[in-house]
Amino acid sequence: MKSFLHVQDIGPLEAALAEAADVKRNPFAWKSLGKNKTIILIFFNSSLRTRLSSQKAALNLGMDPIVLNVNGDSWKLETEMGVVMDGDKPEHLREAIPVIGSYCDIIGVRSFAGLKDRDFDYNETIINQFIEYSGKPVISLESGTVHPCQAFADLITIREHSTKKRPKVVMTWAPHPRALPHAVPNSFAEWMNAADVDFVITHPRGYELAPEFVGEAEVEYDQMKAFEGADFIYAKNWSSYTSYGQILSDDRSWTVSSRQMAVTDNAFFMHCLPVRRNMIVTDEVIDSPRSLVIPEAANRVVSAQVVMKRMLEEL
């Protein structure tokens, strides 16, 4: 695997899920695979789960992880080509990336969508420069349009908790005070469309995701109708794709509460975290025994470890 951004990069899902189960059962079985190998994890944005789970996954595989916080620890990096660098960014990605590549064997990059320029974000302008100029395998740790390590962990969690061959999975928009990127809902949609689930997306009008990520999913604008008979509720806020980066609604009736959960088939509640309580979901739902937010976050180590393991095996 030369890069990990999309569900196709992991190959057949059943094999990936079986490998995830192996890794979870025996996380240290491949400790020698990463001996004398280094992964550099570059963060242009904040993180708790991705930073720690990626480091833990690397350590489980015997690798040495190095974390670089751009804008904190390093020079500020210019990301656009052709600009006159007379501002506050003294180094360009064009030099920084091959330098970073010369120090490691695998690179992970977190670079959120700026939500200003849809083409810049949707062309994956930053991570694609890492892929082009580093000469090393590159993992998206949430980039302009995708968060594949999260979606893989979500699928692992659904598989672990599903009692049905083809569960109904509903991804619902929920209100949030700030404009958020599309990477989590895009990837979740992409992975659910590839998985053996009955997938429904529900959101207010104006929050349609990019068509290439919606794929064949059912879109239902009535949240209560979407929740009927659901086995898994996946809540997330995102900003508008069509009115790019805008907040179009703060309708609190979309906050996931026991009112909506009552029409599900005793559904599990999921969210990638961090979550704003009583905006996205009520305390009652997130604190209930049907909430999977902690096991879902724990599976971030597993998904990252499978991806890194595959990359190490191909070095």
Q: Which residues of this protein are in contact with ligand CP, per CB under 6 A?
A: 47-50, 142, 150, 272-274
**Beta pairing class for 91-92 and 168-173:** unpaired
CB 54 within 8 A of CB 153: no
Which residue, 33 or 273, is less far from ligand CP as judged by CB? 273
Which residue, 202 or 299, is less far from ligand CP as judged by CB? 299
Minimal CB distance to ligand CP: which residue?
A: 50
CA quadruple 123, 128, 132, 137: dihedral sign: negative
DSSP 3-state of 156: helix
Q: Name the minimum Å distance from CB 252 to ligand CP.
A: 23
Which residue, 78 or 190, is less far from ligand CP as judged by CB? 190
* CA trace torsion 201, 53, 277, 279 (10° rounding): -40
Q: Name the minimum Å distance from CB 256 to ligand CP.
A: 17
Q: Name the minimum Å distance from CB 62 to ligand CP.
A: 23
Q: Which of 126, 120, 106 is nearest to 45 (CA)?
A: 126
Q: Name the minimum Å distance from CB 139 to ligand CP.
A: 13
CB 237 within 8 A of CB 251: no
Q: Name the minimum Å distance from CB 47 to ligand CP.
A: 3
Which residue, 170 or 272, is less far from ligand CP as judged by CB? 272
DSSP 3-state of 218: strand
- Map tokens 């996954």 to a residue: 57
Percent helix / strand / coil, the chain, rounded to 5: 40, 15, 45
Q: Name the minimum Å distance from CB 125 to ligand CP.
A: 20
Q: Name the minimum Å distance from CB 229 to ligand CP.
A: 27
Which residue, 43 or 213, is less far from ligand CP as judged by CB? 43
Which residue, 57 or 168, is less far from ligand CP as judged by CB? 57
Which residue, 30 or 281, is less far from ligand CP as judged by CB? 281
Which residue, 110 or 168, is less far from ligand CP as judged by CB? 110
Looking at 255-292, list the stretches that DSSP marks H as alpha helix, in order from N- to C-terminal side: 258-261, 283-286
Strand order in the sheet with 198-202: 218-220, 198-202, 168-173, 232-236, 268-270
Q: Name the minimum Å distance from CB 236 to ligand CP.
A: 10
Rounded to whole angstroms, the Cα distance separating 182 from 68 reads 24
DSSP 288: S
